[in-house]
Amino acid sequence: MPPVPSDELTSQVVALFAAINRRYARESEAAATPYELTPLQAKALLAAEEPVAMRRLAEYLHAEPSNVTAIVDRLEARGLAERRPSPGDRRVKLVAATETGLTVIADLRARMPFASHPLEPLSQEQRETLRDLLALMLDEQGPATTPG
């Protein structure tokens, strides 16, 4: 196979990133719809599988704390999540999935095989190489934040 010109190769890589993003978004939306959740609400619920601080959740969702408060309010109203005080710092509020929320999380994960396990087809070595290459790209472009 002959080498691909650099600009064409860049276009191919960018197109693949876009395709991965679209597939993730489609799958997430399709999984959330039966529960009448927005993809962002579903992402918040998934993040609350283990108790998570509201501030950390806002960082993970790349959302303003006031928006996250509204998202958690909706999850609480549906009985999917609850706020708890942090055992280590009573000023910090944690969000945690309820038993009902944990059941929904399990179903969401089952409905989102690609989004839940996008690296499944890759070997451990390939995963590490991909991670290192993506980190290198971000380092070259300037500082970036890592979700989660």
Chunked into runs of 10 residues, the chain (148 residues) has average pLDDT values of 76 93 93 95 96 96 95 98 92 96 96 89 95 88 49
Residue whose tokens read 């960018």: 14
Give the global pTM: 0.78
Residue spans per domain, the chain: 6-116, 118-148
pLDDT at 48: 97
pLDDT at 141: 58
User: Contact at 8 Å (CB) between 82 and 76?
Assistant: yes
pLDDT at 129: 95
Q: What is the dihedral of CA 14, 131, 102, 72, to 10 degrees?
A: -60
Give the torsion sign (CA, 19, 22, 28, 34). Answer: negative
pLDDT at 146: 47
Q: Which two tokens stand for residue 25?
A: 């978004």
Domain 6-116 class?
mainly alpha
